[in-house]
């Protein structure tokens, strides 16, 4: 039997919606599990990714930890894929790019409605926020992009089956969406 | 005088005074475009309609058809150029389609789908752009304006007003409103003006009309912009 291909996934500044959409593969996940296994992913709870064939990245880059995770994925994955609007253009998290970081923090932790025990978190364990949210192609080289908010399960399936069969992935018109 | 031009190997007749895009549209050949609309003077700003005419890049919406021209509209090179131009339009503004009420009905997005644009390629500007929600019925979200000038032309040429203008140059250009305060509420715009309905993107919107059709059932969710544009523009072109 051929060795299974290794897939790692992560969510940076995203909402896990792309992961949920991936799970919409439903019974096709069984077929996928026969040829692929997960390395680091929310499904396996592995902390660092090892050498992988495919890395699926959801979400943009909003803090220092996102940068580290993204670089680790780039180092370890032969093929790195930007999954969804946030990874591709920053998505909704990037809508904060027009507000100063200070104002964002004050609104969230001090001045916002319903805030109790107001204080700006400053534990050294916490990753530092970046001034702006960035799409991942601005940090590392990306090999493929799956647009959508989220991309549908059919997008994942079309993409992965093409790669597994050694074909160049391409998407019919109906599968390309930005919303 | 009439004549014939050749687009991608197909002979297409034209009439004196027609531009390449007008001749192409009449013959059912789609040339991607955003700042061109039949019935308005050409503006030539978006450059999406760039074709090769006798070996040179030209805007099909401003270039007059002339007998014997060889035009390349569909080639790998042309498609890549157009994809890059569209990507530039996306990174220059702030286009967050999932939060935009024009999504699915937006021509910029429709063109990007048509070009199979999967990413934005360039670093994003994330430029600060304002919103003008001052008017009770009409909204301008400058984040999505591509400076196609269609609202400017529509206001002047169809509505007999002069509500909009483009000020500044290059990266400093911006859409301005011709009113004492610079705000839309103090202009003489009316909800029935052509200018309000012509915007190809979600920059100029009519309030309380968004999200009425669910995602997935909007125009470009299921129809290529080539099909939609040819049908509409051949209709409009007649009047
Ligand atoms: S104007 Fe069009 S391209 Fe821009 S955000 Fe709205 S739907 Fe997307
Ligand atoms: S508001 Fe719309 S119609 Fe006016 S210039 Fe901007 S994109 Fe074009
Ligand atoms: S349509 Fe020709 S330049 Fe915009």
Domain harbouring B230, CATH code: 3.10.20.740
- Asked if A135's CB is within 8 angstroms of B95's CB, the reply is no
Is there a contact between A90 and A97 (Cβ–Cβ < 8 Å)? yes
DSSP state of A26: T
Pocket of ligand 3 contains residue B82 by CB under 6 Å: no
Token reading at B38? 């039949």
User: Which of B79, B92, B96, B222 is the best residue to mutate to test the A interface, defined by the most A CB atoms within 10 Å of its own CB?
Assistant: B96
What are the pLDDT tens digits along chain B (239 aa)? 689 999 999 999 999 999 999 999 999 999 999 999 999 999 999 999 999 999 999 999 999 999 999 999 999 999 999 999 999 999 999 999 999 999 999 999 999 999 999 999 999 999 999 999 999 999 999 999 999 999 999 999 999 999 999 999 988 999 999 999 999 999 999 999 999 999 999 999 999 999 999 988 999 999 999 999 999 999 865 44
Residues B60 and B111 in one domain: no
Task: For residue B222, list chain A residues with Cβ-Cβ distance below 8 A.
Answer: 174
Residues B110 and B69 in one domain: no
* Chain A, chain B: beta-carbon pairs less than 8 Å apart: 73
Is there a contact between A60 and A134 (Cβ–Cβ < 8 Å)? yes
Structural domain contains residue B163: yes
Query: Reduced to 3 DSSP states, what percent helix, strand and coil does chain A have, rounded to the nearest 5?
Result: 40, 20, 40
Q: How many separate domains does chain B show?
A: 2
Residues B158 and B200 in one domain: yes
Structural domain contains residue B86: no
User: If we measure between CA atoms, which residue out of B38, B27, B62, B67 comes closest to residue B48?
Assistant: B62
Residues B55 and B113 in one domain: no
CATH number at residue B151: 3.30.70.20
Structural domain contains residue B90: no
Structural domain contains residue B39: yes
* B215 vs A: CB within 8 A: yes
Residues B229 and B148 in one domain: no
Pocket of ligand 3 contains residue B48 by CB under 6 Å: yes
Structural domain contains residue B135: yes
**Count of helix runs (H) and strand runs (E) in chain A:** 6, 7
Residues B76 and B117 in one domain: no
In sequence order, what DSSP letters do the residues of A138-167 get, joined into one string?
GTS--SEEE-SSSPPHHHHHHHHHHHHTTP
CA of A155 relative to ligand 2 center, distance in Å? 32
> Which chain A residue has its CA at the smallest distance from B114's CA?
A173
Q: What is the pLDDT of residue B171?
A: 85
User: Which of B87, B114, B115, B126 is the best residue to mutate to test the A interface, defined by the most A CB atoms within 10 Å of its own CB?
Assistant: B126
Mean pLDDT of successive 10-residue stretches along chain A, which has 179 residues? 89 97 97 95 90 98 98 98 98 96 95 93 94 98 98 98 96 96
Q: Whose CA is nearest to atom 2 of ligand 2?
A: B199
Structural domain contains residue B164: yes
Decide: residue A122, CB within 10 A, 0-12 exposed, 13-18 middle, 19+ buried: exposed
Range of the domain at B33: 2-81+225-236
> Closest to A91 (Cβ–Cβ): which among B98, B100, B129?
B98
Q: What is the pLDDT of residue B43?
A: 97
* B109 vs A: CB within 8 A: yes
Structural domain contains residue B88: no
pTM of the model: 0.96
């Amino acid at each position: 039997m051929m060795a299974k291909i290794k897939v790692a996934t992560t969510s940076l500044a995203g909402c896990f919606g792309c992961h949920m959409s991936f799970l919409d593969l439903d019974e096709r996940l069984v077929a996928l599990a026969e040829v692929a296994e997960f390395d680091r992913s929310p499904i396996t709870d592995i902390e660092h990714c090892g050498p992988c064939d495919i890395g699926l990245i959801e979400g943009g880059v909003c803090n220092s930890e996102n940068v580290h995770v993204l670089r680790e994925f780039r180092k370890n994955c032969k093929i790195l894929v930007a999954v969804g609007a946030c990874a591709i253009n920053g998505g909704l998290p990037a809508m904060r790019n027009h507000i100063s970081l200070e104002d964002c923090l004050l609104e969230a932790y001090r001045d916002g409605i319903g805030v109790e025990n107001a204080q700006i978190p400053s534990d050294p364990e916490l990753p530092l926020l970046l001034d702006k949210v960035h799409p991942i192609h601005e940090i590392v080289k990306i090999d493929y992009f799956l647009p959508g908010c989220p991309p549908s399960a059919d997008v994942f399936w079309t993409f992965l089956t093409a790669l597994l069969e050694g074909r160049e992935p391409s998407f019919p018109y109906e599968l390309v969406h930005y919303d | 005088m009439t004549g014939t031009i050749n687009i991608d190997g197909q002979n297409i007749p034209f009439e004196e005074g027609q531009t390449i895009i007008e001749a192409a549209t009449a013959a059912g050949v789609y040339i991607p475009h955003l700042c061109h609309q039949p019935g308005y003077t050409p503006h030539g700003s978006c450059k999406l309609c760039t074709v090769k005419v006798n070996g040179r890049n030209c805007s099909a919406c401003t270039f007059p058809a002339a007998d014997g021209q060889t035009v390349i509209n569909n080639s790998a090179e042309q498609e890549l150029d157009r994809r890059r131009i569209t990507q530039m339009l996306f990174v220059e503004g702030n286009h967050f389609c999932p939060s935009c009420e024009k999504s699915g009905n937006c021509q910029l997005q429709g063109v990007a789908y048509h070009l199979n644009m999967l990413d934005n390629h360039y670093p994003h500007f994330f430029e600060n752009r304002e919103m003008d929600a001052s008017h009770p019925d009409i909204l301008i979200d400058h984040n999505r304006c591509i400076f196609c000038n269609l609202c400017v032309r529509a206001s002047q040429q169809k509505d007999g007003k002069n509500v909009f203008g483009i000020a500044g140059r290059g990266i400093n250009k911006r859409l301005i409103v011709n009113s004492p305060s610079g705000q839309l509420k103090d202009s003489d715009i009316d909800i029935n003006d052509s200018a309000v309905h012509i915007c190809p993107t979600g920059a100029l919107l009519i309030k309380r009309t968004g999200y009425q059709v669910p995602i997935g059932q909007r125009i470009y969710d299921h129809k290529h912009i080539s099909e939609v544009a040819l049908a509409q523009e051949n209709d409009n072109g007649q009047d």
